[in-house]
Structure 1
Amino acid sequence: MGFLNRLFGKKEEPKRQLDHPSKLIKGDHISLDDSFALPPQLRGQQLRVEAVNTYEYQRKQQTEWVLKGHSGDAIFLGLDEDDETYLALSIKISRGQVEQFFDLDQFSEIFEEEGKAELTTQPLAADLNDYEQWLSPHYHQVTSGNFGYFHRQDYRGLRPPQDADGATGEPFESYQLLDDNEDKAVDVEVYESGDTDVMLTLYRPLSDIREYWPGQ
């Protein structure tokens, strides 16, 4: 009977292989390297995928994973795919922090038609040292007013809704500035509602994710 049970019995579902950030789904966990090359908000953190969102542009889609750890602060993960694939790790900063980190006259030039803003980071106060590794001394603008839709859903392998009367996502325009080494960025998203999100981004090797755990 044991042989027959094995022959005709229900086969176990194969375990999900989770070995790359592109495979992460809601409920999965990762742990990051504890190297001092990472800022305190990332160093050695264990993070859970709380949501998977989609940025839809005219010619491409980009997935965003929203991660949270013990602090409850959101870390946004994307993948920068060119000749090699890098992690794009971002944190959102407030208007007050924008004023502390940058000259507002320089910052306002990001939205000019020419799209050639230059940003110089201002000296940080002692209580802002946790942000030092997120910032570079100088940035130059590389994109201006790229139009897209933000979807609070995972559309990997799918086409987001196109019906004007349906859930087409939140319209926005994106702007990006890179530092001189192109391993840090300032990303700005301006939504149709008038809301503006400003994020500091680090580009890091995939190996900074040391472990993966599939969710239950």
Structure 2
Amino acid sequence: MSFFKSLFAKKQPLPTRTLTVPNELQTHDIFTFGDSFALPQIMRKQQFQVIDCHTIEFKYDHYAQIIAQGSAEELVYVSFPDNPQKLIKVSLLLTRDEVQNLFDLETFAEIFEEPGNVNLMPLTNDHHYADMVADNYIQQNFMITGYKHRKDYRGQKPPQHNEEEHGREFEYYSLEGAHGKRMVEIYIFENGDTDVYLSFLRPANDIAELWIKGE
């Protein structure tokens, strides 16, 4: 009897992944920013799909950075560094022209000179970045070594001293404004490639909707 019961018993559906907070986003998932006017137009009420997930590693910590794309070509980067307020970091990768339009390049070049204590002010308030830009930035980090991994290492430690899997080494420079909520972040990689991000910390509920791809 027990054999026939098990044979004809209704199969229970397999558990599916849940997605309730932004730091659970994975590749191909979809999310929408809310309608806060603190967000630039490229983000406000716009839908994005996660196209990749990287890991930013420093000596004592590491965190995920998701790369997402909406209807425009410009990518949006959302990171989850550890902080008491559990804020997310939202970033845009700036072109050289955008850096030049926002900041004086001679002053910007001093970021890379010792002792690394630059005071940087935007050249204009006429930009499309909404509240991403601070009125003034003070340099915080100078030539900090880190690694960028093209894999998601949430919940595990990135590989150490593994020539096949180690990330791209970089030097990290950063400036902060608006009580640490606005940042200019610079990554200089071993081959000379340089990424300049305009970043700001925002409440996680700025991401208003989340969907698992295919559901």
Same topology, TM > 0.5? yes
- State the aligned residue count: 212
Question: Contact conserved, 1:100 with 1:124, CA < 8 A, in 2?
Answer: no
Aligned to 1:85: 86
Q: CA RMSD in A?
A: 2.0
Instruction: Output the TM-score relative to the length of structure 2.
Output: 0.91
Question: Is the aligned partner of 1:176 residue 2:177?
Answer: no
CA distances 1:72-130 after superposition (whole Å, capped 9, x unpaired): 311000124322111110001111211111111211111122121110110255xxx31
Aligned to 1:189: 187
* Counterparts in 2 of 1:208 and 1:132: CA distance versus 1, 3 Å: closer
Partners of 1:185 and 1:197 lie apart in 2 by 13
Unpaired runs of 5+ residues, structure 1, are none
Instruction: Output the TM-score relative to the length of structure 1.
Output: 0.90
Question: Contact conserved, 2:33 with 2:209, CA < 8 A, in 1?
Answer: yes
Partners of 1:44 and 1:110 lie apart in 2 by 35
* Counterparts in 2 of 1:145 and 1:16: CA distance versus 1, 3 Å: same
State the identity %.
33
User: How far apart are residue 215 of structure 1 and its match?
Assistant: 1.4
Stretches of 4+ aligned residues off by more than 6 angstroms: none
Question: Contact conserved, 2:104 with 2:123, CA < 8 A, in 1?
Answer: yes
Question: Contact conserved, 2:64 with 2:81, CA < 8 A, in 1?
Answer: no
Unpaired runs of 5+ residues, structure 2, are none
Q: Which amino acid aligns with 2:207?
A: I
Q: Which amino acid aligns with 1:150?
A: K
User: How far apart are residue 162 of structure 1 and its match?
Assistant: 2.3
Partners of 2:130 and 2:123 lie apart in 1 by 11
Comparing 133-142 and 66-75, the one that deviates more: 133-142
Aligned to 2:128: 130
Aligned to 1:94: 95
